Chain A
């Protein structure tokens, strides 16, 4: 069994990344690869669905830090949804809530992109 899994799917013009398991310094490169593939395909509107993510370390948060500006420069963004409290608390400790939008539900996050147009 793998300790981390990342899956990318399209919902309209938005790319949804499902993350599952443990996101740490060992597994963060898998998430970087997912973001690199999106950039190669000019996909800049991203929702990360955290429903099945049970653990994150700063190596995982660093991936979002490294990519979000590029998305925003291209009229996109990285938005977060379905986060467990224990995972949200780490984002909160590092002051991420003022820099990112967090949604309870994936649909709300996806719809926010069409509202912004």
Chain B
């Protein structure tokens, strides 16, 4: 049986917290009725979102905060990740050209694309007080 839940994790913007974030998502998703394959996809999508925040929004500054909120009901599993770092416009991020990136010896730019492939819905929003929020949704079928 799936139960509705509401959970929250707040961590500093350092890459050593990624494992903590993944464990939090794994535990939350496990009690939501999602299948193992879907849980794996959600964990990776959240990792990618938080990695982007650490790298791009906070530019590796360790003082930033990442707020991960999880909500689930019978129909869907929703993760909202909020930060107070630099804004960015997702419309300005191109679809990655993997072959071109290889030629350019470029080692990044895949995270947003991967999130879209892994989740059913991905959306970005600017909140008040200079906060940014990304919402990831996986349907529970």
Contact = CB atoms under 8 A, between A and B. Distances in A.
B109 to A, nearest CB: 8
Contacts of B107: 62-63, 65-66
**Chain B interface residue number, banded:** 20 to 34
A95 B100 CA distance: 12
B19 A61 contact: no
Contact of B47 (A57, A67, A93, A96): A57
B18 A86 contact: no
Interface stretch (B48-56, B75-83, B85-93, B133-141): B48-56
Interface residues of A, number: 25
A90 B102 contact: no
Contacts of A69: 102-103, 105
A63 B47 CA distance: 17
Taking each of A26, A65, A86, which has the highest tally of chain B beta carbons within 10 Å of its own beta carbon?
A65
A71 B5 CA distance: 49
A93 B114 contact: yes
B130 interface: no
A74 interface: no
B105 A65 contact: yes
What are the 5 closest A-B residue pairs judged by CB atoms, nearest first?
Answer: A62-B107, A66-B107, A26-B15, A58-B110, A25-B51
